A and B are shown apart, each in its own frame.
Chain A
Amino acid sequence: MGTYRMMSRTMPDIVVCVKQTVDVYQLKPHPETLAPQLSQAQWKNSDFDLNAVEEAVRIKEKSGGKVVVVSVGPEVKQLLVRECLAMGADEAYILSDPSLAQADGAATAKALAAVIKTASPKWDIILCGEASLDQNAYQTGPRLAEIFNVPHVSYVNKLEVGDRVLKAWRAVEDGVEVVSCSLPAVVTVGLEINTPRLPSLLMIRAAQKKPLKELSLNDVGLTKDDLMPRAETLEVKALKTERRRQVFEGKVEELAEKLAERIIAHMGGRR
């Protein structure tokens, strides 16, 4: 397929699903219980999802179309959604409901799909981060594709969108797999696909005028029962790590050798 055709015609409508998570880099475990201290945590847009927003905006800059941000959660913060609009998305829909606090992958995908069906029923691509910063479950994208019954491409680190078709470079175990599929499709992206832009002052100010709409469960035709998780989280604890505190002494060349041997031994002898 020639580049010319890849770049022609389609002005894709792209939906980006953005999760708001606690900033895990700032999260401290309780010194005794080892439970993460969520009440003091800062919130942010999940890193991978910002890669998805960036990619959507890049596609729009190249091919035209529209970028719609969708965010669901127990208490979606408008300010963080506004940040996605400042990166270049055109409109945003949010669904906040306390029942989403315990949501698993299935419930989250169900809620997102309901919002997408209501707010942006005619879409060409749904972009998600491949996982979220906090749960790291890799569920949302594939489940959305199942709900909409469309192709799903995961772990994408390069993406081209053409006329009713996309071509994706997937990071797999031993290399890169290049695939293509028809649109509509769901794509999940990783951190390597791009570097999310810092919104410029101009974009920040423009974002204030972009539509940001709050929806309720009722608006999207869901009830609290629809969002009941299938699995229950019993406990979350930080790992306790102890350093080995081994000190090697001697000449640098010998030390490197010793250190390498110790690491190999630790890995079960595999080189």
Chain B
Amino acid sequence: MVFPFSSVFDFAVEMKEEYEIFRKSVRAFAEKEIEPLVKEIERTNTIPPALLKKAAEQGYLGLGIPETYDGQGTDMMYSTLFVEEVSRICPAFTVATLVGVLFTYPVMVYGTEEQKRKYLPPIARGEKFAAHATTEPGAGTDVAGIETTAKRKNGGWEINGRKYFISGADKADYFIVLARTSPPPSRKERHKGLSFFIVERGTPGFRVGEKIEVIGIRGSHPCEVILDNVYVPEENMVGEEGQGFKIAMDTYDHGRIGVAAQAVGVAQACLEKALQYSLQRRVFERPLIYFQAVQFHVSEMLTMLEGARLMLYWATTLANKNRPEAVMAASMAKLYATEVAEKAALKAITVHGGVGVATDGMVERFLRDSQVFKIYEGANDIQKLVILRQMMKTAFGMDVD
């Protein structure tokens, strides 16, 4: 029985030759261009701009954007493989592309033709960067709890508020900002009355504030964003007034696969590093790998990793086919893969012993990164709710919110 799915075909993973050629070229790019800079990225919490330029030349910044808007017109599997391979070396680098998607996806699906033509091509070409500003000091998971407001003024909107943990904000040119445009009709309908706006850097009253120092995914540089009487014209609204919550949820449903891919990339790195070390390091006159305790760690890592990878490719395949089950699958992949990344990082540290906890050893960073994976793009406990609610909705048409 395959409940809540309909048949064994729902479990297909579909791969093509071109994916593999792409994956290999991304691996070569990550090892050649990114790896030598990882220490510097960790230390400075910044991605060197020259690196982003090189990625743009390879077409990596236009993933998922249609060719009409200068993108690569690629399906989800390309994005998955790109994020996985780069995260094996440096997950922070993928944040630069993933936060771009949190801007381009809502614009692509809900935006006007003018918005698409104005904002998508420069992002796809890597000339401009974008960020997504929903989270606030007082509201993260609880999107409807945001306090930023937008009020009608002179045929446009005036936005006031403070956003926090906005990844990529320091270099972004375009921001998509969620604000409350009308008070909630009732406590039960708090999610009503929210709307998205595009705000360009340089708009009077708009400011990127303090850079937040974080333990994990260093280089993703989350920042504070301050909106002080920021005026935007009517045409900057994305989607309809009051549609903001729905757009936000749809955007995160699509972004989640990216986090699962980051986690699989990190778990892969942990396995490779642990295995390599256990082959080189000798204790009691034999390499570590001859000891059963170490063998158990490595085989458990391998098993978890491949399980997570299969879920990731499976969720990506469902998303490629626009199947409604893709939302649930993406949440399951995110939940499982991020926990696998954490466990794999802990095992890698254990196998490495002292080297595992030395910051110079470049192993402990994966444990720090995994903590961010578990929290952002919908904390893992929220994923559990999404999984159950989606399952009840698809299987029984039941709403258990």
Q: Which residues of A approach B to under 8 Å, CB–CB? A: 78-79, 82-83, 86, 198-202, 204-205, 207-208
Contact = CB atoms under 8 A, between A and B. Distances in A.
A201 B24 contact: no
Given A83-B24, A205-B72, A205-B74, A200 B57 contact: yes
21 contacts: A79-B17, A82-B18, A86-B21, A86-B25, A198-B25, A198-B32, A198-B58, A199-B21, A200-B57, A200-B59, A201-B60, A201-B63, A201-B72, A201-B74, A201-B78, A202-B59, A204-B18, A204-B22, A204-B25, A205-B74, A208-B18
Contacts of A207: 18, 21
Interface of B: 17-18, 20-22, 24-25, 28-29, 32, 57-60, 62-63, 72, 74, 78
A213 B59 CA distance: 28
A83 B78 CA distance: 16
A175 to B, nearest CB: 31
Nearest to B27: A198
Nearest to B60: A201
Contacts of B17: 78-79, 82, 208
A208 B73 CA distance: 15
A79 B20 contact: yes
A201 B19 CA distance: 10
Nearest to A87: B25
Contacts of A82: 17-18, 21
A201 B18 CA distance: 10
A199 B22 CA distance: 8
A201 B25 CA distance: 9
Contacts of A78: 17
Nearest to B24: A83
A86 B25 CA distance: 10
A208 B58 CA distance: 17
A204 B20 CA distance: 10
Contacts of A205: 18, 72, 74
Given A198-B28, A205-B74, A83 B21 contact: yes
A83 B62 CA distance: 21
Given A205-B72, A205-B74, A199 B25 contact: yes
A204 B28 CA distance: 14
A201 B72 CA distance: 7
Contacts of B25: 83, 86, 198-199, 204
Contact of A201 (B28, B32, B59): B59
Contacts of B59: 200-202
A183 B62 CA distance: 42
Nearest to B33: A198
Nearest to B71: A201
B21 A204 contact: yes
A205 B63 CA distance: 12
Contacts of B60: 201
Which 9 pairs of residues, A with B, have the shortest CB-CB distance?
A201-B59, A200-B59, A198-B25, A200-B58, A201-B72, A204-B22, A199-B25, A208-B18, A204-B21
Nearest to B62: A201
A79 B21 contact: yes
A198 B58 CA distance: 8
Nearest to B63: A201
Contacts of A201: 22, 58-60, 62-63, 72, 74, 78
Given A79-B21, A199-B25, A207-B21, 14 more contacts: A79-B17, A82-B18, A83-B24, A198-B28, A198-B58, A200-B57, A200-B58, A200-B59, A201-B22, A201-B59, A204-B18, A204-B21, A204-B25, A205-B18
A207 B20 CA distance: 13
A79 B29 CA distance: 19
Contacts of B22: 201, 204
Residue of B17, B21, B28, B72 most packed against chain A (CB within 10 A): B21
A82 B20 CA distance: 11
B95 to A, nearest CB: 19
B289 to A, nearest CB: 14
Contacts of A199: 21, 25
B15 to A, nearest CB: 12
B169 to A, nearest CB: 26
Contacts of A83: 21, 24-25
B383 to A, nearest CB: 30
Contacts of B63: 201
